A and B are shown apart, each in its own frame.
Chain A
């Protein structure tokens, strides 16, 4: 779309529904609506269920710009609350995916009861305020037409339900599947994993096998014909509601908890002495207080101890952890505490989320979303430099790339003599990392910013640095 000097930046992830599109202007998140979507919006804005959802914070804050900006080619323009950090479902933990699914169904059930529905059912309709899910796709609501099943059911299965079935029934991590396929997992693919007695697991026979078979048999029937046939056969709104309730019941049953992993008990079993931990907490607290950061990234966050300390002084903290079980435990703890400013994400720093979807920009790469005022990289350098063989200079380049110009990086260097570093080094040939030394690390740091503070931990084998990154 051609805009002239209107300061409009189209949101690359919003084009699938031509009737309404999200764009950015002057730092605001706006949504343009065509005539029909504008009519739907006005009906929605007057609906009780929508007001309730907004009041409960379940739908992202939305208001109409009045009068509509004349320089924009839309019948109406909405302004949305800004989601502090956009994340993708393949960066979520199992508990997050499940809670997102439950919120979607909750929103849909309330809409149906009030004569509305959602046009789609995708996991991408949801985002987070910390550990609280939010339904963001306000453009998805439209008045329901009697006698029609939910148009979003297929998407719901592909992007929410099937990934949950994979994890809950088979113990297979769902994230790589969602990351690889923007439209989620097709019934025809997942049904192959649920043969034999597995077909009797909750939800599998109907939502996977029957669904797949029906798709194959009706591949040539148009959805318009099928809708008319269903209406004629007596499909009702009560049935649509029953389906949603059935899905809710199923999702609640899929309460899988990942088993203990290597990192689960880290804070209790780790090599830190209490004085080490106290010194580290104090260092992080001072860095956060001094920088009063808008956005903090905690890389290798584990149980989120330092993320939470930073959150006391920060606008928002994104806690990145590669271990899905650890991140899920963190999510559940944050959720239980009603935390709205710490977002846990599952991601391997050595393999961060690439761009995805159309042209590789429909889903922004992690590196394009993360520009933090404060980056914490505590006890994680050795995992990347020794565990993953990434050259030290590149480890630091990556941390700096995630830091806003002028922002701060707090990084812990675990000396090669430290028991944890020794354990990692023991798995590699002797002498493979001659540069993994403090004397090599410090100049690399100094080349990328100004070291403003430095502290030796009492154990004597770890050093903390705060670096103000060159602008």
Chain B
């Protein structure tokens, strides 16, 4: 179960924290974007059918 906070942390504000976290953080951000990209390509054919 994902636990949600009372405060809207802001999606962009969460991701940018990875980016500012040096090389290791940037790698996490890159991985996140890569996975999103891959997920979109995988989804597309089925979306169209």
Indicate whether A210 sits within 8 Å of B16 (C-beta atoms), given known contacts A151-B7, A151-B9, A223-B11.
Answer: yes
Residues of chain B within 8 A (CB-CB) of A259 are none
* B-contact bits for A71-98, CB 8 A (1 contact / 0 none): 0000000000000000000000000000
B12 touches A149 (CB 8 A): no
B16 touches A214 (CB 8 A): yes
B11 touches A233 (CB 8 A): no
A34 to chain B, nearest CB (A): 11
Indicate whether A16 sits within 8 Å of B6 (C-beta atoms), given known contacts A232-B35, A233-B31, A242-B21.
Answer: yes
Residues of chain B within 8 A (CB-CB) of A210 are 16, 19-20
CA A120 to CA B8, docked complex, whole Å: 9
Which applies to chain B's interface (DSSP): helix, strand, loop or mixed?
Answer: helix
Which applies to chain A's interface (DSSP): helix, strand, loop or mixed?
Answer: helix
From the candidates B3, B14, B25, B28, name the one contacting A226 in the complex (CB within 8 A).
Answer: B14
From the candidates B7, B24, B27, B32, name the one contacting A230 in the complex (CB within 8 A).
Answer: B32
From the candidates B9, B29, B31, name the one contacting A153 in the complex (CB within 8 A).
Answer: B9
Indicate whether A214 sits within 8 Å of B25 (C-beta atoms), given known contacts A119-B5, A145-B3, A232-B35.
Answer: no
B19 touches A206 (CB 8 A): yes
CA A424 to CA B4, docked complex, whole Å: 58
CA A229 to CA B38, docked complex, whole Å: 13
CA A16 to CA B6, docked complex, whole Å: 8
CA A224 to CA B11, docked complex, whole Å: 8
Contact-size category for A? 35 or more
CA A215 to CA B29, docked complex, whole Å: 14
A residues 234-269 touching B (CB-CB < 8 Å): 234-235, 238-240, 242-243, 246
Residues of chain A within 8 A (CB-CB) of B44 are none
* B-contact bits for A116-139, CB 8 A (1 contact / 0 none): 000110000000000000000000
Residues of chain B within 8 A (CB-CB) of A224 are 2, 4
- In this assembly, does B49 line the interface, its C-beta being within 8 Å of a C-beta of chain A? no
A230 touches B4 (CB 8 A): no
CA A219 to CA B17, docked complex, whole Å: 16
23 contacts between A and B (CB under 8 A): A17-B7, A18-B6, A120-B7, A148-B14, A149-B14, A150-B9, A150-B17, A154-B9, A154-B13, A155-B7, A206-B19, A211-B12, A211-B16, A215-B12, A217-B12, A218-B12, A223-B4, A223-B5, A232-B32, A233-B32, A242-B21, A242-B22, A242-B24
A residues bordering B, Cβ < 8 Å? 16-19, 119-120, 145, 148-155, 157, 206-207, 210-219, 221-230, 232-235, 238-240, 242-243, 246
